[in-house]
């Protein structure tokens, strides 16, 4: 086996660990918590299905690539809960270290490509990164709403916190932001999300 292939296989074996990283959000059709691999797959499907709702023309393949790599760093850094203000203080430092280790396993050109995709996603400056990030916000919102506010209630999350956390959806899609606001309002009206 040539060295590039060996490095690529080793990387693919290593990222299988993403299936073991649990998130706080429950899957919609069951009692167990979602893992990061399932989350990334779901986001990639959302990008494919919801592309027409992006406010700007985006390179959907690039968006999907970002969504598939954006949480790989959590293999080393762990999942930081969306509403954990303390966890966010060193989140980037933990994740950039993990990004260099994980993507560094690959041949140089691929390592650079994946690291750059991850950095672009984190910076949220390009249309593709903003659309990818908006989906990353929308997906757990949908899950929580479908699960009758499971995570929101467990951690005493208020509607104001949810609105503030998800406001950036508007940067990529007016339609999806309107939908997100409707979900939040319905959750408040149904008593599954506490109004702040």
pLDDT in tens, 110-128: 999 999 999 999 999 999 9
pLDDT in tens, 119-170: 999 999 999 999 999 999 999 999 999 999 999 999 999 999 999 999 999 9
pLDDT in tens, 44-100: 999 999 999 999 999 999 999 999 999 999 999 999 888 988 878 899 999 999 999
Query: Residue 103 is encoded by which pair of tokens?
Result: 């993507």
Residue 177 near residue 169 (C-beta atoms within 8 A) = yes
């Amino acid at each position: 086996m040539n060295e590039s292939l060996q490095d690529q296989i080793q990387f693919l074996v290593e990222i299988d660990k993403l299936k073991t990283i649990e998130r706080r959000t429950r899957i919609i059709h069951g009692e167990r918590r979602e893992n990061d691999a399932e989350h990334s797959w779901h986001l990639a499907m959302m990008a494919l299905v919801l592309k027409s709702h992006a406010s700007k023309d985006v390179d959907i393949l690039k968006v999907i690539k970002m969504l598939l790599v954006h949480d790989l760093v959590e293999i080393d850094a762990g999942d930081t809960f969306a509403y954990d203000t303390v966890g966010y203080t060193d989140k980037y430092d933990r994740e950039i270290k993990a990004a260099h280790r994980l993507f560094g396993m690959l041949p140089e050109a691929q390592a650079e490509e994946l690291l750059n995709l991850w950095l672009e996603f984190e910076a949220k400056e390009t249309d593709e990164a903003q659309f990818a990030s908006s989906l990353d916000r929308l997906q757990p919102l949908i899950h929580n709403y479908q699960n009758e506010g499971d995570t929101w209630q467990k951690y005493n999350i208020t509607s104001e916190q949810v609105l503030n956390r998800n406001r950036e959806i508007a940067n990529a899609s007016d339609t999806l932001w309107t939908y997100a606001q409707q979900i939040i309002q319905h959750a408040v009206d149904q008593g599954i999300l506490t109004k702040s």
